[in-house]
Amino acid sequence: MSNGKPLEGLKVVELGTHFAIPAVARMMADWGAEVIKVEGLSGEAWRVVGRNQKCTITDDENPFFTIPNANKKFVALNLKDPDGKAALMKLIGQADIFLSNMRLPALTKLGFDYDALKDQFPGLIYVHFSGYGYKGPDAAKPGFDSVAFWARSGSMLDWGTQGNFPFLAPTGAGDAMVASILCAGVLAAVIGKAKTGKGTFVSSSLMGASVWYNNACVVSTQYGNTFPKDKDHPANPFGWQYQCKDGEWLMIGVVDYADTYRKLMPLFGREDLLEDERFNTIAAVQQHLDEAMPIFREGFMQDTRDNWVERIGAMNIVIGKIGHLSELATDPQAVANGFVVPVTFASGRTVQMPTIPVEFSAYDTAGRYEPTGAVGRDTEEILTQAGYTTEQIVGLQNKGAAK
């Protein structure tokens, strides 16, 4: 493994807020791109969202903000000031990629929309992200992932079971999914530019991504598949969730129902049912679920979750615990594979932080997690690199055009 990174040499300017666009830039930063994040003088909104999640939000310790913003440089500019706008324009002119999720009318008013930049910077890859896309009756609506991704797609209601309260998705989960697919689009544009020398406009949306990620449901509902599911009438009882003796839950997922039935009935002490024609094939059990499900549930209640996972897993049956979010930071499998790594903040506190789940055999991209610090932490360094003198930078700061 070399010490290099696959995106070394790429320069990225991000005018992003919240999670999706910053996460795209974070992935590229981890993979070697130089990423400059431009914020307003008071910082972007995600700096304080952590307080809603019971997290610390100080300059020295802001883990919630650090997740999508680690390993970047931070510049603070006042885009209402002509000199602040000029500084951003200079940074964009020196960049390969510009990313933003600012709404298009606001970008247009500032003069940073794609049409305003494409002729001036024909090689620029311009990346934008919206709630609902650019056409149709909802094109102008703002959209957080809770509304535009989870709620609009039906996932909140239909991923659960009948009668359940709509589930509450973790903050930023939909954004993270969009960021992953949008990052793939950005890298495709980078490859295209290498071939043609031309930049392009790259975009994605929360609603568009939710349709893609719900692809099986989009298609199957047109053939009569219905959601949400009835918890008492699964299509395959051994592709289902069961509560165990200790109150914990497990997930069993098999394709060959009949084979699994023959293996599990003795474990449940129900050898008497092995030849029961109501239950021993998938076609039969689907007609007798009201009788079968209480038997299966009673069987799983005879032992604890972890014991079942070990005993049934030893029979080469796909099964796993249904865990808790609070377990992920210390999950031995997550720790062993570097899915989480310890990060020590300037405050002195060490927190297990999630990592970008992509590895390269030829590049060393693992484990780098530079905390974010204060608004405008790197303004002087970045503007100096862009060609500003110390006197000019001080002048921008004194007049409130930069911080």
Alpha-carbon dihedral of residues 197, 198, 204, 208, nearest 10 degrees?
A: -100
Task: Tell me the pairing of strands 73-76 and 34-39.
Answer: parallel
Q: How far, in Å, CA of 115 to CA of 112, rounded?
A: 8
173-196 vs 206-213: helix crossing angle, rounded to 10? 100
Burial of 94 (0-12, 13-18, 19+ CB in 10 A): middle
Please check whether residue 131 is in contact with residue 204, taking contact to mean a CB–CB distance below 8 angstroms.
Answer: no
* C-alpha closest to that of 233 among 288, 158, 166, 299: 288
Q: How far, in Å, CA of 107 to CA of 116, rounded?
A: 10
Which residues, 6 or more positions from 276, have their beta carbon under 8 angstroms from its beta carbon? none
Kindly state the tokens that stand for 293. 């499900």
Which residues, 6 or more positions from 151, have their beta carbon under 8 angstroms from its beta carbon? 166
> Alpha carbon of 154 to those of 47, 117, 158, 159, 224: distances in Å?
29, 37, 6, 8, 16
Kindly state the tokens that stand for 37. 């994040």
Centroid of chain to Cα 177: 4
Q: Residues 145-181, buried b or exposed e (16+ Cβ, 10 A)?
A: bbbbbbbbbbbbbbbbeeeeeeeebebbebbbbbbbe
Q: How far, in Å, CA of 33 to CA of 125, rounded?
A: 14
Centroid of chain to Cα 307: 32
DSSP code, position 169? P
Known catalytic residues are 175
Helix, strand, or coil (residue 297): helix
Maximum alpha-carbon separation in the chain: 88
Please check whether residue 149 is in contact with residue 224, taking contact to mean a CB–CB distance below 8 angstroms.
Answer: no
Order the strands of the 249-253 sheet from edge to edge.
239-243, 249-253, 319-322
Please state the φ and ψ torsions of residue 200, each to the nearest 5 degrees: -165, 165
